[in-house]
Structure 1
Amino acid sequence: MSARTADAPASLALWLDALAQQRRQSPHTVAAYRRDLEKLLELAGEDLLVALSSAQIRRFVGQLHARGLSGRSLARLLSSWRGYYRWLVQRGECADNPVAGIRAPKSPHALPKALSPDEAARLLDITLADALAVRDQAMFELFYSSGLRLSELAALDLDCLADVAAGELRVRGKRSKTRLVPVGRAARDAIAAWALRRGELAAAAETALFVGVRGARISVRVVELQLARRAQAVGLAQHVHPHMLRHSFASHLLQSSGDLRAVQDMLGHASIASTQVYTHLDFQHLARVYDQAHPRARRK
């Protein structure tokens, strides 16, 4: 950080330390805040951060938007800046918060990508061989069966096996909220098969349900890589990631049941607005069917 913004380094360091020590933010989150504030320093140039006005902040947002930064990225930047200035105001180092009330421009809402039922079947209907393949099958079946987040799957312990055998799973999701999700027959069978082979990989004292080649709890990155390799091996054209299986679970369940509230509960969404995006996916499917089948929709 430049000496031309001599007011900033000390206060930024203190704020980041407060995030880490008092608010218990993760190192990854603190690093993201640091990058966001360094961007503000870059935009401020010779101006002191404590002297920036709302008009200047709006100009910075306009400059970044013109460079191609999305509304979502700008919203994250503004959130970081707003938090920093709120902290400065509380400490009496700044008269007011120049970021208060400033909102990022809206970006087009990108719909989540989901596999078709046929693509999901191609991904999951394979012949198993070694313990790693059995493990992967159990993980991917569980993603698609129960709509888990990647972090939720990686955090599962052995003590969930009895519940899984009974067709349900208790999951600790975001903000430590617990929810109960169903586990389908294919996933139950795949997990039972993995439980029989898990000892070939797991360390003696390891409590994680899913483990890597070193015997410890599997990392989220390994799950991502294994799923991408599986998708490539079965010939799927698109890149497949764990969240796509969660999207596929929600989309296919909603198409079949039409019960938005039940899908919300199973996904663990705090707001039904987060779940409603899948109604748009369903409408896209219906629109394609209409375009292909309706005699007044087909082009001559």
Structure 2
Amino acid sequence: MKNRKYLTPSEVEKLLEATLHSTHAERDYCLIWMCFIHGCRVSEISSWRLSDIDMEGNNIYIHRLKNGFSTVHPLYMRERKSLRLWLNKRKQYRGADSDWLFLSNRGAKLSRQRIYWLIRNYSEAANLTINAHPHMLRHGCGFALADRGIDTRLIQDYLGHRNIQNTVLYTASNAQRFKEVW
């Protein structure tokens, strides 16, 4: 299983639990959960701005990279709760007046490299059997959606794929899709 390229929902939960004991618990919990729930690439999540979030309308603008389809996703209840906790704590950070959603200690946007470092350290703290990295959260989202029986085209739109061939990876290995065949 060391060659697996995604995290399971239970592994994501272990990562989230590991954040609770850190100095930046609210930020890191929110970052990992949002990266997973929206299937974001590390560059997409590091570039999120406060202006991308509409707490009253309960949605977030997802600007996809790599020529993907950008779209608006709903904010889910657990996510809204973690966002509120982070936004409240964020007020104490240097650079709190900037528009970047996730801030570093220095008040700048959290870099891609730092996010990689965080995920790797949390995977060690959570005693995961694989060395996690941010893209495993994106793939984990795709597989989790497929496991829930979500239509391939909807997964394609949700992840911002232009080509369906990038999406079938998630549904092709899902045995659940055969459950209702007969």
What corresponds to 2:139 in structure 1?
A: 247
Amino acid at match of 1:253: L
Instruction: Determine the structure 2 residue equivalent to 1:169.
Output: 60
Determine which structure has more spread, i.e. the larger CA radius of gyration. 1
Contact 2:6 2:137 in 1 (8 A): yes
Could you say which residue in structure 2 is the equivalent of 1:282? 174
1: distance between equivalents of 2:30 and 2:94? 15
Following superposition, the deviation at residue 176 of structure 1 comes to: 7.5
**Matches for 1:140-219 after TM superposition, within 5 Å:** 140-161=32-53, 163-164=54-55, 166-174=57-65, 175=67, 177-219=69-111
Which whole-Å deviations, capped at 9, do the CAs of 1:94-142 have from their partners, x for residues lacking one? Answer: xxxxxxxxxxxxxxxxx96222232222222357356612100010010
* Deviations 1:155-205, CA, capped at 9 Å, x for gaps: 1111133x2554321111123742122332222211111000002223154
CA distance in 2, matches of 1:275, 1:157: 27
Higher helix share: 1
The residue type paired with residue 98 of structure 2 is: E
TM-score, normalised to structure 2, is: 0.85
Moved more, 124-133 or 242-251: 124-133
Distance 1:184 1:125, change over 3 A: farther
TM-score (norm 1): 0.53
Code of the aligned partner of 2:33: E
Identity %: 28
Q: Which runs of 5+ in 2 are unaligned?
A: 178-182
- Tell me what 1:268 maps to: 160
Q: RMSD value over aligned CA atoms?
A: 2.4
| Alignment partner of 1:135 out of 6, 20, 27 | 27
CA contact (8 A) 2:69 2:157 kept: no
1:260–1:276 contact (8 Å) kept in structure 2: yes
How far apart, in 2, do the equivalents of 1:263 and 1:164 lie? 24
Deviation of 1:252 after TM superposition, in Å, equals: 0.7
1:262-285 Cα shifts (integer Å, max 9, x gaps) = 1100100001111011123324x8
Partner Cα distance (2:18, 2:139) in 1: 21
Instruction: Summarize the Cα distance change of 1:137–1:191 in structure 2 as closer, same or farther, 3 Å threshold.
Output: same
- Relative to structure 1, the CA distance from residue 157 to residue 268 in structure 2 (aligned partners, 3 Å threshold; closer, same or farther) is same
Residues 147 and 250 in structure 1, CA contact (< 8 A), matched pair in contact too: yes
- The equivalent residue for 1:225 is 117
Q: Could you list the runs of 4 or more consecutive aligned residues of structure 1 that deviate by over 4 angstroms after TM superposition?
A: none
State the aligned residue count: 175
SS of 2:24's equivalent in the other structure is helix
Residues 131 and 197 in structure 1, CA contact (< 8 A), matched pair in contact too: no
Q: Which amino acid is the alignment partner of residue 167 of structure 1?
A: N
